[in-house]
Each structure stands twice: as structure tokens, then as C-alpha cells.
Chain A
Amino acid sequence: MMNAFKGVDRIMTDSRLRALMEESPEAGQRALFEEYCGYVYAIAAARLKGCGTAEDVEECVADAFLDIFTALEKSPSGDGDLTALIGTIARRRAIDTYRRLTLRNSRTVSLGETDAAETADVMSVDDEADLAETRRIVLGQIEKLGKKDRLMLIHYYYYGRTLAQIAGTLGISESAAQKRIQRARKKLRALLEKAGINEEWWYE
């Protein structure tokens, strides 16, 4: 969903960004980074949480931007949707990083295990549909929470940020962050039970 704010907030349009990158690659790259770094981070963090460190996620975002810059240098006058292009590149880079980290994290991996991991990573159409439906319901229930609760849950479960990172970003102590997450989670659990979802959907 392209929200209305994007039209105003991202006033520097894709075509202007492309033009700026042609005129002054360094300035263009900086502007592109400022505009899209939150988006790329959101894709990378969601994919890598639980298997990589904060530094791994930051490196993945940096690598994704290098891929994006290369793609735009090859096709400077392209007129496609920049958001879609950046999203695709970021997603591919995040998957590559995920596979690399998964392999790194397992001390010995036989060829068979690698194949199994790759296979396990591919979900059946039914599972995919189930997951999308659960996500839709969970998001619907999260929307019913207050904004502070939403913020905590999304930082913790979507971005996979640590308590220390959340506390640093929000300017609160780690114990306060933990309490807020516990509170928000309790409220969400009650809403989900009412909506008929009892299982532990979140990442443990």
C-alpha cells in the first residue's frame, strides 16, 4: 500500500533521484540512501533476525545499497518503479546473507544438510497462505493496540531489535523496554485469543 504521506514526504521523486545520480553520483547515492535506508533496513532486519547480529544486518543493508547503486549505474535512465527495484534487490541480498549466516552458524554442514536447509526454506503454497492469513490477523489485532504498544511490538518482533537497541533508540532503560514489551505482548495475546489464534506465532 502506497500511503498518502509517501507522495509528500518523498517529494524527491524517483526520476529526480535518477537524474541526481547521473549528475553527481556521490550526491545521488547519498540522497537515495537517505530516502530508502529505512525501507531496505526493514526488509533486511525482518529476514535476518534471529540468525545474524546487528552488525550483520547493517552489513547486509550496506551490501544491498552497493547492489542498488550498481544496478542504477547500469540503467541510469530506467523509468521503472524505484521502490520495487530496491525492494527486490534488498530482498535478494537479505536471502543471500541469511543463507551465508545460516551456514556460518552451523559448525559442520554436510551437503545433505545444506540441501535440507534449502528445502525447508521453501514453504508449500498452503503454508505460505496460512502464514499470510495469520500475519493479516495478527497485524489487524496489533492495529487495535495503542501506539506505544504497537511501536514496541514492531521493533521487537518485526525488526528483531534487541532490548538494548530498542532502549537506546527510544531513550528508555532496558528494563523499561522489557516491561513495555511484556505488557504489549500480554494485551496482544488476549486480543489474539479472542480472534481464535492461540498458538505462539512469534519468533522465539
Chain B
Amino acid sequence: MSKKDIFSDPESELAERFSAEYPALSRAEKQRIYSLIQQKQGRGAYDSEVTVSGVERRSGRAWQRAAGIAAAFALIAGIGGSTFFLHMNRVRSSERLAAAEQLTDDFLTAANLLTAGAQDGAPTLCFYRYSSRNSGWDGGDVHYARVSDDRFTSCGELVTFIDGLVTNEYMYELRQNGGGYFSAGIRELLSGSDDTAPVLISYCGELYSPQTSQPAEAYISAPVIVRSGIHEMTVRRDTDEPLEFHMVWNGSEWQISEIERTSE
């Protein structure tokens, strides 16, 4: 057989499986493609489109202009250089902290739904749950309450949201085995098992999770950057246990690459 790429024209089933199990697109890439679609539809995807028209006729000698610009730049750099860099460092540091807070807040909010919580108390759904395999168990009612975060109306939206916060590699871990954060993989949490009911149900365009007694206001500490590199950082946030979020810069945005439960 001649040398040929065995994956160049795979069955649709394989494409479907790989896209679910080994997703390749980052949130930034997805957004870029969607912007392209909007642009092609004439919806003007880009926030600011700068149009430059007209031609300036250049006078004088080119080297004089270049030398003038270089001299001006050197003067400005000499006077304000150190101040500028100090300021930039401060801006970058505050930007990092803001990104760290946003990313961890978003993750903890979404993760809270997968561990039951964030309910508004009404309305509720009631299911009778039983097991055909266990004749000795009479079964019982399971109550689901609507989740209060109206950003999520389906399990798919929730999973997509988490997918956008973490690296593909870590999303794979979260889906398969919980990534050291959840007690089981997201797949298992969502579908439930013989012993557990699904943690989320999508019903009439709204999302429901098992009703719990009203939890006390959860404590979440402010984010603290405990380690920082050029393209990575570790952020600590304490909930009912201390958590360390390892984050990486993928060239366009920060993403969570791992979450560790740490001891004091």
C-alpha cells in the first residue's frame, strides 16, 4: 500500500468521537472562527475596524526622517523609561490578579453546580427513584431544584463553559476522572450511575440539581498569586479547603492547567 495519511478522510464517527474526547480548539480559536462567520455574514464581527484612506506625500530625505524619529525616541526613553517599565509591571501584575480572580470565580461557580448548589429554591421537580436490580429497596423521592445561575440552561452549556476555562488536557482529566477536583469524571457526574442520581437535569430550558438543605454562604478567600512565571502562575484560593490553581498563558488568554488540593 502506498504511503498515505490514514486519517485524511476518516469516518464521521471517528471525527465525532475525537472531537468529544480530544477537543483541539481553544476558546480563542472558537471565538476567532465565529467572528469570521459573522464577518462573512456581514454582521461586522470585529469591534473596531479601522479604515485608512489617502496617501501622504513624503518630503525630505528618508534617512533624516528616520534619524529624527530615533533621536526623539531615545530622548523620551531616556527621560521616562524607568518610570514606564515600573508602571507596566504594576499594570501587568494587576491584570494577572484580575484574570486569576475571574478565572477561578468562573470555575468555582460552574463546579459548584456539579457538586450540587447554587439553587434558588423554587420551583422543584420530584422524581420517584427505584432500582429494578435491588428488590429489597423500596425506592424513594429525589427532589431537584432549579439552579439560580441563569447563564446555564443545559448541561451542555455548563460543560462548554468549563471547557473554555481550562486547557484541553485538563478538560480531558476533568471529563475522565474529575481531574483531582471532582469525585468522578464530569461524564459520570452528569449521567449518574446505579448508585447515584444524575447531578443535573435539563428540563424545559432550565437546569435543575438535587435539592439540598440551604447551604450557608460559601466562603471563598481572595485570590493570591503564590508563584508567577512568564507564561504561568499559581493562584491560591481557600474555600472549605485550600486550592491551588495552576494557570498557563496560551498566547491569547490564561487557562487553568491543573487544580490541586493543598494541605495547610
Contact = CB atoms under 8 A, between A and B. Distances in A.
A201 B256 CA distance: 35
Interface stretch (B12-20, B56-64, B107-115, B133-141): B12-20
B1 A9 contact: no
Contacts of A61: 33
Interface in A1-22: 1-12
Interface stretch (A99-107, A109-117, A130-138, A181-189): A130-138
B1 A5 contact: no
B155 interface: yes
A196 B55 CA distance: 67
Contact of B18 (A37, A47, A154): A154
B3 interface: yes
A168 B15 contact: no
Given A11-B156, A62-B40, A45 B4 contact: no
A197 to B, nearest CB: 10
A203 B7 CA distance: 9
Given A33-B34, A41-B24, A169-B24, A127 B1 contact: yes
Interface stretch (B87-95, B121-129, B167-175): B167-175
B156 A47 contact: no
Contacts of A3: 17, 20
A134 B7 CA distance: 10
B19 A39 contact: yes
Contacts of A200: 3
A8 B41 contact: no
Contacts of B160: 34
Contacts of B167: 169-171
Q: Which of B1, B6, B191 has the largest number of chain A CB atoms within 10 A? A: B6
Given A87-B15, A171-B248, A66 B190 contact: no
A37 B7 CA distance: 19
Interface in A146-175: 147-148, 150-151, 154-155, 157-159, 161, 168-172
Interface residues of B, number: 58
B209 interface: no
Contacts of B24: 38, 41-42, 45, 155, 159, 161, 169
B116 interface: no
A83 interface: yes
A137 to B, nearest CB: 9
Contact of B176 (A135, A138, A147): A147
Contacts of A6: 16, 20
Q: Is the interface of A mostly helix, strand, loop or mixed?
A: helix
A144 interface: no
A8 B155 contact: yes
A189 B35 CA distance: 40
Contacts of A92: none
B63 to A, nearest CB: 37
Contact of A171 (B7, B33, B232): B232
A10 B6 contact: no
A135 B191 contact: no
B22 A151 contact: yes
Contacts of B5: 49-50, 157, 202-203
A96 interface: no
B211 interface: no
A201 B5 CA distance: 6
Contact of A9 (B20, B231, B249): B20
Nearest to B251: A168
A179 interface: no
B26 interface: yes
28 contacts: A2-B16, A3-B20, A5-B175, A9-B20, A9-B187, A11-B156, A11-B202, A12-B157, A37-B33, A42-B19, A42-B24, A58-B29, A58-B33, A83-B16, A87-B15, A134-B1, A135-B6, A135-B10, A139-B14, A147-B176, A151-B22, A151-B172, A168-B251, A169-B26, A171-B232, A201-B6, A203-B5, A203-B7
Given A3-B20, A11-B156, 9 more contacts: A4-B187, A8-B187, A11-B202, A41-B25, A49-B8, A58-B29, A83-B12, A169-B24, A171-B255
Q: Which 3 pairs, one residue from A and one from B, show the smallest C-beta to C-beta distance?
A: A171-B248, A38-B19, A203-B5
